[in-house]
Amino acid sequence: MQTSPRITSAFEPLRIGPLTLRNRFIKAATNEGAALDGIPTGQSLRLHERIAAGGAAMTTLAYCAVSPDGRTLPDQVVLDHNSLPHLRALTQAVHRHGAAASAQITHGGCFTFLPPSRSALPLSASGGFNKVGILSGMLRKQAMSEADLSQVADEFVRGARLAREAGFDAVELHMGHGYLLSQFISPLYNKRHDCYGGTLENRMRFPLMVLRQVLDAVGQDLAVVCKYSVTDGVRSGNRAKDGAAIARLLEAEGAHLLVLSAGMNVESVTTMFGSSFPKENRVSTGKPLIDAVVALKSLLEPHVQFRELYLLEHSRKVRAAVRMPLAYIGGVKSLEGIEHLMAQGFDAVALGRVLLAEPDYVNTLQSGARRDSICTACNRCVAMMYTPGGTSCVLGEPGDAQLNSVGAALL
């Protein structure tokens, strides 16, 4: 198969901050269900090593909490010195194949199923009724004080420094999907009347403070990436015009790359994934609470049929608003789609479900062996992350439950 100029451009190097990627393909962060007592497991190491060997320029370790209270579920990485040797084993495995490793560092705020240890209620931009708490029993949340803001910002900085010590090449600040930084950005959650609420500029004040402090701490050594929701996907939330304004603020503050996601975990999951979670594609996780959440989402949300590049219309508005590097995410699963994104001026392509289905998809494309991914966007991988083997595609090799029961450094 003859390689087109546009797909060739996808295999050119990309500079983001101090980091040069070997091509334009990034493994997007996808919750893995592959952590044990806050440390990444051997299954997590194997997943990211296979993606690195499969040709991606950078792979992103999902949901590394900046503190134990920052987790949403027990099986997530915590950035502390207990996890350090296991994180280092993972980055070394990725580097053996010439790829870069990124740590997604974040805090769940009130989107958590774990009781907080340092406060009576889960923290958020605003206090009051906690709709996520209907499922966890934590029906109220607590507005963050100035002291809380300072402490959590410090935790992001410590997490970024630990990621650097562990050998990561980048950190990704998760500012989307309804996690803590998103709870400040979105009017769905931010009802504050001080300088951190009201206008978009005020709602961005805390996320920008975190970004600035992380840049000051590690930005000379690591690429600092921001992932955010260009649109919240619901009428009373941020829309794409707000997403473009957010991008301008992040660019002005010095972010090295933006990953353009969309949607919220509670209000608009189909916006995030581009398609519904039909009943026949659900799996039983053996955890009643999680099974209930998946079932409830399927019942309450309207049916959405998957279409490739489902976030392109929104992302184009951001591309027109800024000059900085942008990574498109959202339904990329073919050579034709990648070529179209390159023609639209996006700098990188972030792949999630596709690389779970085929870790070597990038090499397959470059060799010309095949154009399209085997991924069907069935979304069963989303529920598979709660099974003993962790995240996997039902069309491929399942996660290894034994590997998922030992720390990455113990392999």
Does 405 fall in a domain? no
The number of CA neighbours under 13 Å toward the Cβ of 410 is 13
Helices (H), 99-145: 133-136
- pLDDT score of 8: 80
**227 has pLDDT over 70:** yes
Does 408 fall in a domain? no
**Percentage of the chain modeled with pLDDT above 70:** 93
Please state, in angstroms and rounded to a whole number, the distance separating the CA atoms of residues 391 and 381: 6
Give the pLDDT confidence of 375-397 residue by residue, as tens digits: 999 998 988 888 899 999 999 88
Neighbours of 353 (CB within 10 A): 25
Please state, in angstroms and rounded to a whole number, the distance separating the CA atoms of residues 313 and 307: 12
Does 184 fall in a domain? yes
Does 12 fall in a domain? yes
**287 has pLDDT over 80:** no
Does 411 fall in a domain? no
pTM value is 0.94
Please state, in angstroms and rounded to a whole number, the distance separating the CA atoms of residues 17 and 294: 38
Which of 91-95, 164-168, 302-306 bottoms out in mean pLDDT, i.e. has the lowest?
302-306
**55 has pLDDT over 90:** yes
Tokens 């154009």: give the residue.
Answer: 371
For the chain, the domain total comes to: 1
The domain spanning residue 274 has which CATH number? 3.20.20.70
| Whether the Cβ atoms of residue 341 and residue 328 lie closer than 8 Å to each other | yes
The secondary structure element, H or E, covering residue 348 is strand 348-351
Task: Look over the chain and give the mean of its residue pLDDT values, rounded to a whole number.
Answer: 93
Both tokens assigned to 61: 């370790």
Does 151 fall in a domain? yes
- pLDDT score of 1: 47
Q: Which domain holds residue 189?
A: 5-400
Give the pLDDT confidence of 161-203 residue by residue, as tens digits: 999 999 999 999 999 999 999 999 999 999 999 999 999 999 9
Does 348 fall in a domain? yes
Specify the DSSP class assigned to residue 397. P
Catalytic residue positions? 179
Does 93 fall in a domain? yes
